[in-house]
Structures are given as structure tokens and as C-alpha cells.
Amino acid sequence: MKKFVNNPDNFVPDFMAGVAAANPDLLEYVPEFQMMTRKDIGSGKVSIVQGSGSGHEPAHVMAVGPGMLTGACQGPVFAAPPVDACYETIKACNSDAGVLVLVNNYQGDRMAWDMATEMAQAEGINVRQFWINDDVAVEDSLYTVGRRGVAGNFFVIKCCGAAAEQGANLDEVEAIAEKVNKNVRTMGVALTSCIPPAKGTPIFDIGDDEMEVGVGIHGEPGRRREKIKSGNEIVDELFEAVRSDLPFEKGDRVALMVNGLGGTPITELYLMYARAAELAEKAGLTVARNYVGEYCTSLEMAGASITMLELDDQLEKLLDAPAKVAARIF
């Protein structure tokens, strides 16, 4: 596999420099902590912070900007950022109105953000954490750290970022995070493995005729490995896993997302969306907002995930609020 890489160790700072260079009016990049913040951190507004492993772009660093994240720090590819970077990001984004850290639920991120949050709180910063866990693929039990946070992350950031921009207080923004997370579900499938630049080889082996159903965004195994099926059959399986989990029921208004995992062309994502929309209609759901593209990826992994969020008037308005981030098509 060929990649555009200089020194694999510098892969993350190198791409972040590009994100900063392409958005000179919007973003401030601090290489020492692999941290990106808005240039206009507004006083009096709640700050929304995120930080996690790299390799999921546009999450998390390309989600920084007005109406979305206040700041983000990046770890190495697929690994939580160092504690130090998390702590410095909270400090850089500190606001009189408080800071809400939104993090996808993984063990490494939990520990790093726990330590960083404790350190920031000891300094008198008003910071809280919220854990996103929308992936239905893995069982949730006391035995594990719980479900993973995947593409549903986008909806939590979008709604919290909009609310913060509109002047909601920390309690209100946190309540929105809870509402979105409670009502959003995702499941993914992988056709190929990704190749982390520092590793240089696929992270798992999968046959040409196989797919991993319920894959994680770091290539973690999902529910099972099976022979590849037609696009529609795959969507049927993912959609039903997502629909039945909340469950989404007849009459619900939903946002429907088909998210690419990095290595699947947009044509195939729209092919999948066509089937997903058909299934939603058959289930009596009203698709009020739709999203097709890359929101949370796994480097160049061929694959996709389906996310559904149950909507109400408040969430619809927050989804529609303007935002300006590095990930854009116009």
C-alpha cells in the first residue's frame, strides 16, 4: 500500500499543519500539543472540547470551528492523546461559562481525559466530561468499559456546538449531549482493513470475499465475519441492527446518516443510502434530515456505517444552525 507520508512519526502533525494552513482565518494550531482551536474563542459561551486518536478525520480536528468544537487535540493514529495535551486543550479553551469535554467511549480516552479533567478542576476550571457511546455492535455490560463511540459523535458535537453558540449554559449543553447520545445508534461494516502509517501493514487480515460486520473504527472486530453480500443485503443487516436497538418505531422522525469509513467511494455510499431510506420508509420512519459522506473514518478502510438519530423540534433546530469547520465541500 502506497501512502503520502514523510516520516510516519510526523504523520499527524504534518496533516494538522495542512488543516491549519488551509483555514488561516478560522483555526489556531499548536504543534506542541497537536491541538487545534478556534481563533475566536468566545468569552461567555460554553466551550466544547474533544480529543481522541487520529485517523478518524474529519473527526475530530476538522470539526473545530464556530457552531461545532471550540478546540480539539489529536493523539497518534488510533491512540488517545497524551494526558498533557488533553489538559492543555481544556486550558486553552477555558471559558467563564465552562468547558464540556465530549469524548468517544474508549478506555484510553477515558483514562487520559479523567486525569486531565482532574488536573484542570484542581486549577479551578469549570470542566465536565460527557461520553459518547452510539455503537450497537458490541454488547454493553458491567464487564466491559461499554459501547464504543463512533459516527454518532458528529450529531452530539453539532447539537452541543450549536447550543453553546446560541448561549446555552453548561447544564443545558450537557443535557443536549445526553439527549442526542441517548437517541443515536450506529453500526458499521468493513470490507478491507486500514493501514496505520506507523505500522505500514493492514491491521487485520480479511479475505477478498469476506466482510466484518459491526467493525470498530480502529479495525476492532465486530459481531462476526461472514461472506460478502450485495450492497442492499448489507444495508438491510446494518439498518435492522440500528433500528431495533433503540428501538426506532413507526412515526419517529429521524436523521439518517450513511458514513464512509475512508476507503469507499461516495457512489457506493449513495447506493447504500438509497436502500437505507427505503427501509426507513417501510418502517414508518420519517427521514427529516439526511447525511451521506465521511464524518468519522478509519483511514482508508473500505466500509461504511449507518447512524440514526431520533429527532425532536429542539434537535432539528440545532442541526440546522450554521457552522463553519475545516471539513467542507463548498
Partner 1 sequence: MSVITQEMIEKALQTTADTVIRNEHYFSDLDGLAGDGDFGTSLASGFKAMNREWDEIDKSSIGAMMLKISMICSKHVGGSSGPIWGTGFMKAAMPTRGKTEITLAEAAELLQSAIDGIMARGGAKRGDKTLLDALFPVHEAMSEHAEAGDTAAALKDAATAADAAVDETRALRAGRGRASQVGERSTNTPDPGIVAIATILQDWCKAFGVESHPTAEEVKKAIA
Residues lying near partner 1 in the complex (CB under 8 A) are found at 53, 75-84, 106-108, 111-112, 114-115, 138-139, 143-145, 148, 196, 198-199, 203-204, 216, 218-222
**Cβ atoms 45, 167 nearer than 8 A:** yes
The closest of 299, 294, 298, 301 to 326, measured between CA atoms, is 294
CB-wise, 97 or 190, nearer to partner 1? 190
Which of 12, 47, 51, 56 is catalytic? The answer is 56
Report in angstroms how near the CB of residue 112 gets to partner 1 at its nearest: 5
Helix axes 170-182, 153-165, angle to 10 degrees: 150
- 218 catalytic? Reply is yes
CB-wise, 261 or 319, nearer to partner 1? 261
- 60 catalytic? Reply is no
Report in angstroms how near the CB of residue 181 gets to partner 1 at its nearest: 17
Biggest CA–CA distance in the chain, Å, is: 55
**Cβ atoms 60, 50 nearer than 8 A:** yes
| Rounded CA separation 16/38 (Å) | 14
| Rounded CA separation 275/39 (Å) | 41
CB-wise, 108 or 231, nearer to partner 1? 108
CB-wise, 72 or 319, nearer to partner 1? 72
| Rounded CA separation 151/165 (Å) | 22
Report in angstroms how near the CB of residue 321 gets to partner 1 at its nearest: 33
Q: Give 50's contacts (C-beta < 8 A, 6+ positions apart).
A: 59, 60, 63, 69, 72, 101, 102, 103, 153, 157
Report in angstroms how near the CB of residue 103 gets to partner 1 at its nearest: 13
Report in angstroms how near the CB of residue 275 gets to partner 1 at its nearest: 28
Report in angstroms how near the CB of residue 116 gets to partner 1 at its nearest: 9
| Virtual torsion, Cα 126, 31, 216, 1, nearest 10 deg | 180
**Cβ atoms 224, 145 nearer than 8 A:** no
CB-wise, 9 or 171, nearer to partner 1? 9
Q: CA of 155: how far to CAs of 102, 196, 268, in Å?
A: 11, 26, 22
CB-wise, 136 or 292, nearer to partner 1? 136
Strand order in the sheet with 127-132: 27-30, 35-38, 71-77, 47-54, 99-104, 127-132
Which of 38, 45, 185, 218 is catalytic? The answer is 218
Instruction: Provide the annotated active-site residues.
Output: 56, 218
